[in-house]
Amino acid sequence: MTYQNIIMTNMPRRIRFPFPVHSLGYIQDSVLQKARNRYRDKLEFCIRLRSDEETSQDAFDGVEQGLPFPHAVIKAPDVEHSYEIRKPRDAFYFIYRGSVIPLLEKSGIAPEPFLWSITLTSPIRNLITELRALFPHSQDPEAAEQIDLLCFALLEQIIRFRNKRNAEENFYEKKIRSAASWIQLHYREPFRLETVVRKHGLSKRTFFRYWNLYFKETPLQWVLALKLNEAKRLLCDTDRSVFRIAEDLNIRDPAYLVRLFRKRFGITPHQYRKKCK
């Protein structure tokens, strides 16, 4: 294993750059291990360059995540990060003091999400090469300033990929919200999920993946909630019978509507109507 770590805290700086690097380093063919750590006052950006593993195995405050290589990782203050290295990997990292977080957030760089995929573009490779070339000269005049600027340029490059991911999620959120709006207009009709998925140009797998990000209920549960809330409105605002309301909501059995209503609201439709009036 090759392990290089450069501590920057005592290096003289003539330019007061707002994001001074605390330390940085390079690891090649890291040893196999399980680890758990929690920084108190450090913020690490790690670029996992290569591994023979199919995916990483990480957990942030107990929430398990994993991605194929290469990818980027943020290890933030007061967040417990546990991981397992099952096959040797290469990584480049740089660390800031936790005090830079408010400045980074003002610059549009939030600590979360902690893990995202990247592509090792020419700019990213070149910046890492330049930074590693400075390792033997880290005590030279103006080396600290160069390292600070190059690390921030590298950060800007990897954050682009996270922003791209966010843009992709925004695209799918619009799709899901559009599907939900369509369901809200058509929930009285016979419900076929395949129709909704196909109408909005998504695969069933992708639809469920993103639906679950924005809604706590499944699509069928959400349709049922819409029907029962409409039943409440009709019980209050009209004199329609439970039989007629069930028919309007495309619920074939009025007794089934009564059971669903009582299960959700704790009273029968008749009791609710009396209370409402």
Task: Look up tokens 């639809």; give the residue.
Answer: 207
The pair phi, psi for residue 51, each rounded to 5°, is -165, 155
d(CA 182, CA 203): 17
Per residue in 3-52, pLDDT (tens digit) is: 999 999 888 888 889 999 999 999 999 988 899 999 999 999 999 999 99
Q: Look over the chain and give the mean of its residue pLDDT values, rounded to a whole number.
A: 91
pTM for this structure?
0.63
Task: Look up tokens 């959120």; give the residue.
Answer: 173
d(CA 248, CA 199): 24
User: Hey, what domains does the chain have and what are their CATH numbers?
Assistant: 2-135+142-166 (2.60.120.10), 220-276 (1.10.10.60)
Say which residues have a Cβ less than 8 Å from residue 154's Cβ, sequence separation at least 6: 47, 94, 124, 127, 128, 131
Residues 125, 130, 134, 136, Cα dihedral to 10°? 60
- 98 pLDDT higher than 70: yes
Indicate the DSSP class of residue 39: B
d(CA 89, CA 238): 68
d(CA 52, CA 247): 59
Element (H, E) at 73: strand 71-75
Q: For strands 115-117 and 71-75, give the pairing.
A: antiparallel
Q: What is the percent of the chain where pLDDT is above 90?
A: 70
Predicted confidence band at 166 (pLDDT cuts at 50, 70, 90)?
A: low
Per residue in 45-78, pLDDT (tens digit) is: 999 999 999 899 999 998 888 889 999 999 999 9
> 77 has which bridge partners?
39
Closest CA to 23 of 44, 46, 40, 7: 7
Indicate the DSSP class of residue 77: B
Per residue in 218-233, pLDDT (tens digit) is: 999 999 999 999 999 9
Predicted confidence band at 199 (pLDDT cuts at 50, 70, 90)?
A: confident
